[in-house]
Structure 1
């Protein structure tokens, strides 16, 4: 394990790092859509669509400005239009916006995706599996709309309900607020299993990027609190460490849409300082106790600074006796998972991989669990 002083040198001084990034942007020429030159043709076309939307480097902006920048979801729609494809979201039988209680009963935005059509009158409504899903964005940016395509895909391809949960973000709410909110949302789902009409023995957690970090932390927190564990963890290019000197960081320091400077910016705005970098909730692969966790389904991307830590996490989980199913996808970047497969075929490959592993987990015999008493009230917004 690396010392704190080495990690601190990667992130501090925070103000200086941001200033240097801004100066570099002013003096250096605009980087190409695919600075690494390793993206496959479909991924390269998608990166070109993203570049044409005119976004500014996140690391040069304030959080408020960064939250208004075009996203990969916007680039996918632009690419769909260029290919004369439909841009409407994937159809799901029922989609409802909710408010649920987060940590300290703080209201969180959530969205429930139900892939099952309403049965004819008089027929019982089957209880479905549930995926509690956490979006990415470095704990600072993005929201439910940004990752709507991922949630819809998971619901459609697994036949499970998906509860996508927003959480409080930095710098307004720093570490560990997002982690506490994520766990509170999971507990709320368990406590309201009857109201949601879900099968309590078939609940999984899934997250992308920062959301992948939240997903595994939810499982660890449930283990420590002796709450029912999820049957599986879907960890899609997860934030799993705090070492920015890994091979994938070096190879993809200037990559798009995620690079090393952006990761430093995210850390600056979510953490309270260098001591947080030792916390096993952030430094999961090197610092967390991983024994006793459920099946892990891990996706990594070749052109992603987070690839090495995701692969290290897979190795550490296996050593800890956790069942792991992991795949690395060549020629694609961070944020590729939610793309329309007609735009990016490897997104479809990854989606089928994760959905297939989740369906297998839902079919496996589940340990008996006792439902907690309901607490908190669901408040529909539409």
Structure 2
């Protein structure tokens, strides 16, 4: 179907975004933060029970910031979603995705741990992967201290964060780590070395162009990393049957569409219960604008409903 008319209106509201490779990283991050503030002015934050900021110690002594959200319902322990924000491994923060974390907390009636993993190029691959997996280990190990249920842990993210969620699931499976109840993946990066039609047709795609992807890739992996490494390309993992059930949501006008859908298909072929949903007329990043795009809210609600069902298993 054609690009949804609401996209054009939204882009007009936000203003023209310059090419990333034409500006300094500091300027790019400033523009990204300004966009988040603009979105915040348009949206009223969803109320939740409480919000607590914590730090997660990494192996090298770094303290990973994380923000924990709890629903208004009073429970002894809460099922928990660990969420990794998008931004090409270069942009984004717990603040830029605060509204998304709040929505999942309220709609799925679960705790949400939003992880502020280290960003490239200051911290290239595998720093973000290490932070993602370290966060998962801490949530499982310290569950009783934070009222999290160690038996009901889900993991999710959008774009680069979807990649980190899938990779953390792989590390948990391959290293006998915590059991993960569910993967919630929004237009994830799944194949760093793959060549897909959706990439070729998205040279000037709104919010994520082929030039943008090349910029993010240079910042994150440079020239040395192997794109066949499952920590970069989860679709290349040789034992996908070990992974937890998943919901993979893609957008029609997104260069990452085909690799996300290919990953969902590979999971299905491996026998993993997997639901795939493409939102026609939508672009990369559309769940970031639930107040402007009804489909963004619909996709978040679909993910929240999937979490509710996953957390109810075995009850």
Structure 2 length normalisation: TM-score? Answer: 0.94
Q: Which structure has the larger Rg?
A: 1
Query: Quick one: which of 93, 97, 115 aligns to 2:71?
Result: 115
1:44 aligns with 2:8: yes
Measured after TM superposition, the shift of residue 74 of structure 1 is: 4.5
Measured after TM superposition, the shift of residue 133 of structure 1 is: 0.4
- Contact kept, 8 Å, 1:135 with 1:144, in 2: the verdict is yes
The separation in 2 between residues aligned to 1:112 and 1:77, in whole angstroms, is 19
Residue aligning to 2:96: 146
Label 1:46 to 1:77 Cα distance change in 2 as closer, same or farther (>3 A): farther
- Contact kept, 8 Å, 1:50 with 1:74, in 2: the verdict is no
Measured after TM superposition, the shift of residue 288 of structure 1 is: 4.6
Residue aligning to 2:55: 99
Measured after TM superposition, the shift of residue 329 of structure 1 is: 0.2
Aligned residue pair count: 314
Label 1:65 to 1:244 Cα distance change in 2 as closer, same or farther (>3 A): farther
Measured after TM superposition, the shift of residue 61 of structure 1 is: 2.1
The separation in 2 between residues aligned to 1:272 and 1:73, in whole angstroms, is 27
Please give the secondary structure, in 2, of the residue aligned with 1:277: coil
Please give the secondary structure, in 1, of the residue aligned with 2:93: coil
Residue aligning to 1:194: 144
- Contact kept, 8 Å, 1:291 with 1:322, in 2: the verdict is yes
- Contact kept, 8 Å, 1:134 with 1:165, in 2: the verdict is yes
Residue aligning to 1:88: 44
Identify which of structures 1 and 2 has the higher relative contact order when contacts are C-alpha pairs closer than 8 Å and 6+ apart: 1
Label 1:257 to 1:274 Cα distance change in 2 as closer, same or farther (>3 A): same
- Superposed CA RMSD in Å reads 1.9
- Contact kept, 8 Å, 1:206 with 1:215, in 2: the verdict is yes
1:305 aligns with 2:255: yes
Measured after TM superposition, the shift of residue 247 of structure 1 is: 1.1
- Contact kept, 8 Å, 1:39 with 1:331, in 2: the verdict is yes
Label 1:39 to 1:103 Cα distance change in 2 as closer, same or farther (>3 A): farther
The separation in 2 between residues aligned to 1:288 and 1:56, in whole angstroms, is 39
Query: Quick one: which of 127, 132, 144 aligns to 2:82?
Result: 132
The separation in 1 between residues aligned to 2:232 and 2:248, in whole angstroms, is 17
- Contact kept, 8 Å, 1:47 with 1:75, in 2: the verdict is no
Structure 1 length normalisation: TM-score? Answer: 0.78
Residue aligning to 1:353: 302
1:59 aligns with 2:9: no
Measured after TM superposition, the shift of residue 289 of structure 1 is: 3.0
The separation in 2 between residues aligned to 1:129 and 1:348, in whole angstroms, is 22
The separation in 1 between residues aligned to 2:252 and 2:117, in whole angstroms, is 28
Residue aligning to 1:376: none
Measured after TM superposition, the shift of residue 70 of structure 1 is: 3.6
Q: Deviating runs (4+, > 6 A) in structure 1?
A: none
**Gaps in structure 2 of 5+ consecutive residues:** none
For residues 216-252 of structure 1, give each alpha carbon's deviation from its aligned partner in whole angstroms, at most 9, with x where no partner exists: 1111111112122210000110011124631111221
Please give the secondary structure, in 2, of the residue aligned with 1:43: helix
The separation in 2 between residues aligned to 1:142 and 1:347, in whole angstroms, is 18
Moved more, 320-329 or 38-47: 38-47
- Contact kept, 8 Å, 1:240 with 1:282, in 2: the verdict is yes
**Gaps in structure 1 of 5+ consecutive residues:** 1-36, 81-86, 120-124, 367-382
The separation in 2 between residues aligned to 1:288 and 1:97, in whole angstroms, is 37
Measured after TM superposition, the shift of residue 276 of structure 1 is: 2.4
For residues 69-98 of structure 1, give each alpha carbon's deviation from its aligned partner in whole angstroms, at most 9, with x where no partner exists: 1466455456x3xxxxxx321111101222
Label 1:215 to 1:291 Cα distance change in 2 as closer, same or farther (>3 A): same
Query: Quick one: which of 227, 233, 246 aligns to 2:183?
Result: 233
